Structure 1
Amino acid sequence: MVKISLNYGTKKMVAEIPEKNYSGTLEVNEPQGVKDPAADILQCLRNPIDYQPLDRLIKNEDNIAIIVDDHTRPAPTKIILPPILEELKRSGISKNNVNIIFGCGTHRKVKEQEAKNLLGENIAEEIQWTNHDCEAEDLVYLGTTSRGTRVELNPLVVKADLKILTGDICYHFFAGYGGGRKSIMPGVASKETVTKNHCMLTHPKSEIGVLEGNPIHEDMVEGAKLAKPDIIVNVVQNTRKEIIKTFCGDLESAFYEGVRFLDSVYRVKSDKADIVIVSAGGYPKDINLYQAYKAIHNALPVVKNNGAIIFVAECREHTGHEVFQEWMEKYSTAEEMKKQLVENFVMGAHKAYYLAKALQKAKIYMITEIPPKKLEKVYKIIPVKSIEEALEDTFNTMKKDPKIKVIPHGSAILPC
């Protein structure tokens, strides 16, 4: 037997696979984390890509807006912020002139304790921070993109003299990649702006790992440029959540360099298998099904048609989006959902569409905290208590000796 260990929330889930069925674990030869992340970030701030160093951009009385990721993202904000704040202080900026804005997009607000965990207690107590509200009445209209997206943004960002975007560069299943421009759009944009941008997800180029010709990405860049951000501070992390490289500088140049680096490590070739066992990678990547779905999406190129995916995701906040649930209850096929999305895009419905498409290719089993009846009735996913239970069922319904592939970090690796 081959023993495997997968992240489940903040814990580990261990299982055994018959050796004759085991077809390997999809892993990468990823770098170790940098020894001194703060020093690495500081060095990048002083030597940015295609941009001036941060200290040359600042005037003493400037108001600074720093956009950070919310609780649904794994960005190491508490590590990224101190070097930035150090540079601001060195340049004569008072902490009273700094606003930290959680780029929640259309997600719920970050709770106070979550903010302390994300920012670090000292920063959370000493620096002003706020949640972006996508439905606030004081959002500022900056213009309309060439694709017809009205760009309405958080006033604290628009009015700031200096805008700093932070986050991590990772794979995103319809924007191509996270990071860079996403801090602005959807991060601090209106619900209307985000909805119009995301409605292009049925376009064939709106796909994970694709930027060229991807209308969502290109629209995001165009919208973000209207805000005139000054500098991005983005990192790439390994699957142990360690920073392996930092990218600071111009909105596009630094982001694209980070994308190239990410691909050099995490875009991997894989043969197909009858059964794929995949973990979202643990908390916060498996905070809810709405977020954890990315791992299923990344496993689809590996699983054979009519195969099975065994999904390990705690989902302590269960499914994570009301519209996601409503559409799974209302529509029975991906084709029905696609038609409705094209005619009238609704945030949250896109996840239902993607899941419905995934279910057309493979049977999905899941180990999770989502109530079993709800998981099966609403989401058409088979609830199981263990990986072994799922394997027993698949072995009974599939051909003799099906091949099994394991993906421990489904949200981080892009099979091709």
Structure 2
Amino acid sequence: MTGSRARPRERLKESPVTSSLAGSVREVTLAYGRGRLDVTLPPGCEPTVIRQRPLPPLADPAAAVVDALDHPVGSPPLAALARGRRSVCILICDITRPVPNGLFLRPLVEQVTAAGVPLEAVTVLVATGLHRPNLGAELAELVGDPWVLEHVRVENHDARDDAAHRSLGVTATRGTPVSLDRRFADADLKIVTGLVEPHFMAGWSGGRKVIAPGVAHHTTIRTFHSARFMEDPRAVQCTLEGNPLHEEQLEIVRMLGEVHGLSAVVDEERRLVHVGFGEVVASHQAVVDVVAASVRVPVGRRFGTVLTSAAGHPLDATYYQTVKGMVTPLDVLAPGGTLIIASECSEGLGSRAFRAAQQRLAAAGPDAFLASITGKDLADVDEWQTEMQLKPMRHGRVELYSTGLPREDRALTAVVVVDDLTAAVAASMARTGDRSVAVIPDGPYVIPVVGG
């Protein structure tokens, strides 16, 4: 752990989008767990620190939420939408997303009940996809409002419960079987909530993605997470046009009918910087248009070494989620270069299904693993994350720094595990012959690109 020191999360000083710190040994900080990790860079290093273009935090987040509900995109205000409705289902993302649910769940519930929907007819449904349920203290942290937990029915989606889903048929374009949680599909008023941030395969998170995979049956999820979707060159971050996952999600929304969404954007310190509400596709796109220029950062060159993070808690709780931070900076990693990622992995590797996929990768190697999944109609659960890990492995060398991953699981990462970030950066500089190092403190929340 030489040259690395963890400290609590704190507000960062304002800095340029990219800043060059060449000329001497310097410290940089990476998001790590619930805090930050100080890293001393080796002598001779010429670092470029890459951050989002800052969006100013909202002075009154609560008022901004109410204003968004009153002035939606492509739909009437929420109060008008809720009149005459018999039931409401509100989707929220699971614990893997730092969504400020405590800011907007109660206003949503209060507005729909004020419009005449009985409180007992309101359900908050955790869109877990194929992740584990969020329970107990974790559920309380996720919901973020004791009043909501006390007064509203809050439940978890279970993608493996066949009886809990309703079939809508198959998509016309790619034949994906569509089956969604009945609590959402049958609700009279359907509302999704979530963060809009870059997503390494679906382009952007939030909106339609909270529905599928969020509350989809496992066959739906496993179909559009199969290799024929994942290996498509358009299935990448910040790309919606032509992205096969996005196009399937849009078709699923059309099959479902009327849906509305609340989309939020937070900064590096998890402060609300933008919120929008309205028809789910139009309002999501409007928020994407706001955030895209902030998170997609041109840097003009490639680097022999990229030092990044998995964005800290909650995204770096598992190695499964860490893979996202390996994929998003590939545009600025020189071919054959070294990508070094810091991730606490406080909950270890991830699900048993992901562990099984990683065991296959470690045993067979990248080429044989990819060959084994090509042509499948249904992907094995969570093997798509292992498939995404192949992208940085094909591009260069991948190294992981983690204080939470058990030592016996290191081999299952199929990457090089390092204990000293300073030494790792120095070794990469020597190996590549390039002193220039890209430092991305907040990992997959920032998308560095060579061009504009």
Secondary structure of the residue aligned to 1:66 is strand
Preserved CA contact (<8 Å) 1:9 1:287:
yes
Q: 3-state DSSP class of the match of 2:224? A: helix
The Cα of 1:287 is off from its aligned counterpart by: 1.4
2:186 to 159, 182, 204: 159
Structure 2 gap ranges (5+): 1-24
**Alignment partners' CA distance in 2, 1:74 and 1:341:** 32
**2 CA distance for matches of 1:108 and 1:24?**
38
1:191-228 per-position Cα deviation (integer Å, ceiling 9, x unaligned): 00111122211112111111111111110111122222
Residue 441 of structure 2: aligned partner: 408
Aligned partner of 1:234 in structure 2 is 263
Query: Where does residue 383 of structure 1 map in the other structure?
Result: 417
- Please state if 1:91 is matched with 2:125: no
* Aligned-partner Cα distance in 2 for 1:370–1:143: 42
TM-score, normalised via structure 2 length: 0.87
Structure 1 residues 341-350 or 305-314, which shifts more? 341-350
**Partners in 1 of 2:368 and 2:387 — Cα distance?**
9
SS, match of residue 304 in structure 1: strand
Structure-2 residue corresponding to 1:357? 391
Given residue 283 of structure 1, which amino acid in structure 2 is its aligned partner? Answer: H
Paired letter, 1:267: R
Offset of residue 60 of structure 1: 5.1
One-letter identity of the residue aligned with 2:167: Y
In structure 2, distance between residues paired with 1:73 and 1:29? 21
Distance 1:9 1:291 in 2: 13
Q: Which residue of 1 aligns with 2:170?
A: 144
2:234 aligned residue (189, 205, 223): 205
Q: Secondary structure at the match of 1:208?
A: coil
Q: Which residue is equivalent to 2:6?
A: none
Helix, strand or coil at the partner of 1:343: coil
**Runs of 4+ displaced beyond 4 Å:** none
Q: What's the counterpart of residue 22 of structure 2?
A: none
1:113-128 pair list within 5 angstroms: 113-119=137-143, 120-128=145-153
In the other structure, the counterpart of 2:369 is 337
Q: CA deviation at 1:396?
A: 5.0
Give the distance between the partners of 1:10 and 1:272, measured in 2 at CA. 30
Contact preservation (8 Å) 2:305, 2:429: no
Query: 1:404 corresponds to which letter in structure 2?
Result: V
Q: Name the aligned partner's letter for residue 201 of structure 1.
A: M
Deviates more, 1:240-249 or 1:81-90: 81-90
1:10-409 to 2 correspondences below 5 Å: 10-18=34-42, 20-59=44-83, 62-119=86-143, 120-138=145-163, 139-146=165-172, 147-199=174-226, 200-270=229-299, 271-331=301-361, 332-344=364-376, 345-368=379-402, 369-375=404-410, 377-395=411-429, 397-399=431-433, 402-409=435-442
- Secondary structure at the counterpart of residue 137 of structure 2: helix
Q: State the percentage of identical aligned residues.
A: 25
Quote the Cα distance in structure 1 between the aligned partners of 2:309 and 2:122: 38
Contact 2:319 2:345 in 1 (8 A): yes
Decide whether the 8 Å contact of 1:334 with 1:357 is kept in 2. Answer: no
Task: Return 5+ residue gaps in structure 1 as ranges.
Answer: none
CA distance in 2, matches of 1:60, 1:51: 16
Equivalents in 2 of 1:162, 1:392: separation in Å?
A: 56
Give 1:395 shift.
Answer: 4.5
Residue 42 of structure 2 contacts residue 422 of structure 2 at CA under 8 Å; is this kept in 1? no
CA contact (8 A) 2:303 2:333 kept: yes
Report if the CA contact (8 A) 2:53-2:297 is conserved.
no
Shifted more, 331-340 versus 365-374: the winner is 331-340
Letter in 1 for 2:205: G
Deviation at 1:231, TM superposition (A): 1.2
Residue correspondences, number: 414
**CA contact 1:341–1:350 (8 Å) conserved in 2:** no
CA distance in 2, matches of 1:48, 1:84: 13
TM-score, structure 1 normalization: 0.95
Q: Distance in 1 between matches of 2:135 and 2:110?
A: 26
Aligned-partner Cα distance in 2 for 1:395–1:230: 51
CA contact (8 A) 1:334 1:354 kept: no
